[in-house]
Structure 1
Amino acid sequence: MTDEYDLPGPPGDVTVEPAVPDDRLDVLRILDAAMLETDADAVDDRIAAGDVLVARSTRTGGVVGALVAVRPASDRLHVDAVAVRRARRGRGIGSALVAAAVDRGKSDPAIEAVTARFDADLRAFYEALGFTIRSEEAAGDAADRGSDRLDGKLSVGGRESA
Structure 2
Amino acid sequence: MFVREATPDDHLEVRRILDAAMLEPGNVERRIRAGDVLVAGDHLGRPDRPPANGGGTRERILGTLVLEPHSVGEGAPDVGVDAGAHIVAIGVRRRHRGRGFGRRLIETALEREPRLTARFDEGVRPFYERLGFSIEPIDDRRYQGVKHRE
TM-score, structure 2 normalization: 0.78
> Which of these residues, 85, 94, 99, is aligned with residue 86 of structure 1?
94
Give the strand-richer structure, 1 or 2: 2
Indicate if the aligned counterparts of 1:32 and 1:38 stay in contact, CA closer than 8 A: no
Is there any run of 5+ residues in structure 2 with no aligned partner, and where?
A: 45-57, 73-82
Indicate if the aligned counterparts of 1:120 and 1:149 stay in contact, CA closer than 8 A: yes
Over 3 Å off, 4+ runs: none
> Which of these residues, 17, 27, 39, is aligned with residue 14 of structure 2?
27
Is there any run of 5+ residues in structure 1 with no aligned partner, and where?
A: 1-13, 107-112, 137-144, 158-162
Larger RCO: 1 or 2 (CA < 8 Å, sep 6+): 1
Instruction: For 2:119, give the aligned amino acid.
Output: R
* Distance in 2 between residues matched to 1:155 and 1:55, nearest whole Å: 21
* Distance in 2 between residues matched to 1:156 and 1:87, nearest whole Å: 29
Using the aligned pairs only, state the percent identity.
45
Residue in structure 2 matched with residue 96 of structure 1 by the alignment:
104
Counterparts of 1:9-158 in structure 2, within 5 Å, are 14-39=1-26, 42-59=27-44, 60-74=58-72, 75-106=83-114, 113-136=115-138, 145-146=139-140, 148-156=141-149
Aligned residues: 127
Residue in structure 2 matched with residue 5 of structure 1 by the alignment:
none
SS at match of 1:79: strand
Give the helix-richer structure, 1 or 2: 1
Q: CA deviation at 1:73?
A: 2.2
* Distance in 2 between residues matched to 1:62 and 1:97, nearest whole Å: 15
* Distance in 1 between residues matched to 2:146 and 2:25, nearest whole Å: 22
TM-score, structure 1 normalization: 0.73
Q: Alignment RMSD, CA only? A: 1.5
